[in-house]
């Protein structure tokens, strides 16, 4: 048995363009939580004492807090979306979640998920004498399951 630590899960983001991908490790994120936010449907028939709950979908969300660090490509991408008040598809980003504790047979390759999400930065804050931070969420999207090679930064979907 081995404890799985926060640093055993890597988060990569494609901060490039569709013509020129640039997949970078999210290096200055200080907090991130994965929330499924299930969509549920409840039903109760007359012969039942209790309701039946069915999960019909998910509204995936990753609340984040990120230090403001000049030169970090992921921070600069997220901050630009916030600063310029971008909307629509300009807020989308490919997010790769890599389980570093689940390596595959190929070197530097791990079990992973890819999800295209909307970057929703809601605050830029900081107290006197402290480093500034941005906070918000990565929202929505459906997962594609596969593997991720941390050396080549390539995702291969499971067929």
- Decide if 149 contacts 127 (C-beta within 8 A): no
Output the CA–CA distances (angstroms, integers) from residue 47 to 41, 43, 50, 53, in the order listed.
18, 12, 9, 16
If one counts every other C-beta atom within 10 angstroms of the C-beta of residue 136, the result is 20
* pTM assigned to the model: 0.91
Per-residue pLDDT of the chain (159 residues; tens, 9 = 90+): 999 999 999 999 999 988 999 999 998 999 999 999 999 999 999 999 999 999 999 999 999 999 999 999 999 999 999 999 999 999 999 999 999 999 988 999 999 999 999 999 999 998 999 999 999 999 999 999 999 999 999 999 997
Measured between its terminal Cα atoms, the distance across the chain in Å is 30
Instruction: Tell me how long the chain is.
Output: 159
The first and second tokens of residue 6, run together, are 């926060």
CB 114 within 8 A of CB 146: yes
pLDDT at 2: 92
């Amino acid at each position: 048995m081995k404890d799985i630590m926060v640093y055993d899960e890597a988060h990569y983001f494609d901060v490039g363009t569709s013509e020129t991908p640039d997949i970078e490790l999210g290096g200055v994120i200080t907090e991130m939580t994965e929330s499924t936010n299930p969509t549920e449907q409840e039903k109760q028939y007359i012969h039942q004492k209790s309701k039946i709950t069915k999960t019909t979908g998910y509204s995936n969300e990753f609340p984040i807090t990120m230090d403001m660090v000049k030169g970090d490509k992921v921070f600069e991408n997220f901050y630009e979306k916030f600063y310029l008040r971008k909307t629509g598809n300009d807020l989308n980003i490919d997010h790769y979640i890599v389980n570093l504790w689940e390596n595959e047979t190929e070197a530097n390759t791990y079990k992973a998920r890819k999800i295209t999400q909307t970057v929703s930065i809601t605050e830029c804050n900081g107290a006197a004498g402290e480093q500034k931070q941005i906070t918000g969420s990565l929202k929505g999207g459906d997962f594609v399951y596969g593997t991720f090679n941390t050396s080549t930064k390539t995702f291969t979907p499971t067929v």
